[in-house]
């Protein structure tokens, strides 16, 4: 057995937290040979609910769980953390865009970025789920001055998986046959799910579907899927979001065998402004995330990459005071 690792989950009594913790505890995130200590952060009014979650964790008698620390103190929650999942934040309601949450949620990531800087392991890997995830990630990493920006990521694997599922359905193929698609930019209504390089069963995706369907149905459906779920459920996606967060951390730590999508700090690849947190096609090996730099993009793609980049620059301007 390996030494236990410390995993911090914020917003642990919320919907995503509840859908996530039991799967992390059972080994789905880091493997069934990896013991874990769960450090669970909540705000004081949610501590009763969190105590209930902790009782349920205890009642599962998970062999991999070597400790559970429920707390409302960031310094306890982030102490020695090897993996941090920043979920705790307000979700949007019907009719809102995710960036409408910046004011309510942005400040959370200033304090938590600082606390991660001060208390977490020097090799910590951080995933931001709370919306607007890209810009909250930017706030967190800018407030963690002693850590590297590439230790901070934001979640777009949920969008990536939505795109795989929709393309598989349209082509009548199994999801495992879809390879190499990518979600670019912001986790918002401007994100760009790109199929130019994607294949289904080894054939170029764009030879299997009508371009009009791609432009007029596929792209908007992925961009609006979160809102569609809110309309149907009355609250935002939780189980699929938890699933994506677990997959993100698993691929980052244990490696990926195909291209996926993650929000990472731009270093100027594909002419995207340096420093913003932007979703790129990536693969992972030995704990490192590498951008797929091999894509040739046409004007249709480049235009869309720029639209979502502009939105991220506007979001960055709106929270300048938090950086």
Q: Report the site for ligand LMR in 131-190 (rule: CB under 6 A).
A: 131, 158
Beta carbon of residue 211, minimum distance to ligand NAD (angstroms, whole number) = 27
Which of 11, 70, 226, 263 is the binder for ligand LMR (CB under 6 A)?
Answer: 226
Q: Is 125 in the site for ligand LMR (CB under 6 A)?
A: no
Examine the residue annotation and report whether 187 is marked as an active-site residue of this protein.
yes
- Examine residue 87 and tell whether it contacts ligand NAD (CB under 6 A): yes
Which residues are registered as beta bridge partners of 291?
A: 282
Among 134, 186, 237, 260, binds ligand LMR (CB under 6 A): 237
Select the residue interacting with ligand NAD from 6, 8, 11, 183 (CB under 6 A): 11
CA dihedral 304, 307, 308, 312 (to 10 degrees): 160
Compute the residue count for the chain: 323
What are the Cα distances from residue 28, in Å, to 41, 87, 96, 154, 250? 21, 18, 33, 20, 8
Site size for ligand NAD, by CB under 6 A? 29
Q: Please state the closest distance from residue 24 (CB atom) to ligand LMR, in A.
A: 19
Least Å distance, CB 1 to ligand NAD, is 31
Using a CB cutoff of 8 Å and minimum separation of 24, what contacts does 285-291 make?
285/255, 285/256, 286/255, 287/125, 287/252, 287/253, 289/150, 289/153, 289/252, 289/262, 289/264, 291/264
- The active-site residue, picked from 160, 174, 187, 248, is 187
Count of H-run helices and E-run strands, the chain: 12, 14
Residues marked as catalytic: 187
Binding site for ligand NAD (CB under 6 A): 10-11, 13-17, 41-43, 46, 87-92, 108, 129-131, 133, 155, 158, 187, 236-238, 241
């Amino acid at each position: 057995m390996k030494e236990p690792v410390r995993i911090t989950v914020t917003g642990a009594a919320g919907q995503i937290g509840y859908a996530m913790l039991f799967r992390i505890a059972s080994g789905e995130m880091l493997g069934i040979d990896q013991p874990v200590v769960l450090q669970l952060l909540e705000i004081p009014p949610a501590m009763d609910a969190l105590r209930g979650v902790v009782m349920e964790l205890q009642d599962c008698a998970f062999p991999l769980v070597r400790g559970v620390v429920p707390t409302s103190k960031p310094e306890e929650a982030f102490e020695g953390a090897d993996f941090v999942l920043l979920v705790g934040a307000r979700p949007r309601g019907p009719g809102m865009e995710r960036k409408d949450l910046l004011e309510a949620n942005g400040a959370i990531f200033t304090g938590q970025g600082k606390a991660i800087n001060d208390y977490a392991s020097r090799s910590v890997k951080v995933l931001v789920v709370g919306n607007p995830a890209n810009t909250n990630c930017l706030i967190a990493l800018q407030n963690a001055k002693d850590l590297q920006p590439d230790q901070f990521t934001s979640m777009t694997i949920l969008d990536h998986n939505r795109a795989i599922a929709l393309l598989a359905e349209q082509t009548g193929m199994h999801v495992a046959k879809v390879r190499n698609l990518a979600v670019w930019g912001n986790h918002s209504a401007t994100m760009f799910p790109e199929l130019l390089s994607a294949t289904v069963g080894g054939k170029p995706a764009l030879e299997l579907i009508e371009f009009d369907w791609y432009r007029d149905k596929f792209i908007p459906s992925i961009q609006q899927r979160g809102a569609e779920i809110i309309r149907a459920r009355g609250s935002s996606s939780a189980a699929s979001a938890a699933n994506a967060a677990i997959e993100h951390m698993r691929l980052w730590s244990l490696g990926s065998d195909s291209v996926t999508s993650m929000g990472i700090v731009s270093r100027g690849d594909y002419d995207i402004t340096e420093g913003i947190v932007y979703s790129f096609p990536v693969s992972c090996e030995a704990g490192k995330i590498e951008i797929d730099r091999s894509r040739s993009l046409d004007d249709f793609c480049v235009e869309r990459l720029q639209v979502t980049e502009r939105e991220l620059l506007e979001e960055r301007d709106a929270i300048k005071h938090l950086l």
